Amino acid sequence: MLLSSDLRRQNMKLGAHYQLLFPSQGSKTMSFGNDFGWLHYTWIDVGTPNVSFLVALDAGSDLLWVPCDCVQCAPLSAGYYSSLDRDLNEYNPSVSSTSKHLSCSHQLCESGPNCKNPKQPCPYTISYFSENTSSSGLLIEDTLHLASGSDNTSSAFVQAPIIIGCGMRQSGGYLDGVAPDGLMGLGLGEIAVPSILAKAGLVRNSFSLCFNEDDSGRIFFGDLGPATQQSASFLPLAGTYKTYVVGVEACCIGNSCLKQTSFKALIDSGTSFTFLPNEVYEKIAKEFDRHVNATRSSYEGSPWQYCYKSSTQELREVPSVTLMFPLNNSFVVYNPAFMIYGNQGVIGFCLAIQPVDGDIGTIGQNFMTGHRMVFDRENMKLGWSHSECQDLSDGKRMPLNSPPNGTPSNSLPTNERQNATGGHAVAPAVAGRAPSKPSAASTPLILSRFSLLRMLPALLLVFNFLLDLRADSGIV
Q: Which residues are catalytic?
A: 58, 268
**Rounded CA gap, 168 and 179, in Å?**
14
Tell me how far the alpha carbon of residue 401 is from its chain's centroid: 23
Task: List, as one string, the DSSP characters of 304-329.
Answer: -S-EEE--GGGGGGPPPEEEE-GGG-
CA atoms within 13 Å, Cβ hemisphere of 18: 29
Identify whether the C-beta of residue 452 lies closer than 8 Å to the C-beta of residue 442: no
**Rounded CA gap, 95 and 93, in Å?**
5
Task: Name the burial class of residue 69, with classes exposed (0-12), middle (13-18) and buried (19+) by CB atoms within 10 angstroms of its CB.
Answer: middle
> How many residues can be counted in the chain?
476
Residue 329 CA: distances (Å) to CA of 143, 179, 249, 325, 373: 40, 34, 10, 5, 14
Torsions phi, psi for 212 (to 5 deg) = -100, 165
Q: In what order do the strands lie in the sheet with 307-309?
A: 296-297, 307-309, 345-351, 337-342
Q: List % helix, strand, coil for the chain (3-state, nearest 5).
A: 15, 35, 50
Task: List, as one string, the DSSP characters of 20-66.
Answer: EEEETT-SEEEE-GGGGTT-EEEEEEETTTTEEEEEEEETT---EEE
Torsion of CA 435, 436, 437, 439, to 10 degrees: 20
C-beta pairs of 234-238 under 8 Å, 24+ apart in sequence: 234/380, 234/381, 234/382, 235/264, 237/461, 237/463, 237/466, 238/463, 238/466, 238/467
Tell me how far the alpha carbon of residue 376 is from its chain's centroid: 15
3-state secondary structure of 90: coil
**Rounded CA gap, 163 and 142, in Å?**
6
End-to-end Cα distance, the chain? 33
Residue 116 CA: distances (Å) to CA of 100, 126, 170: 19, 20, 24
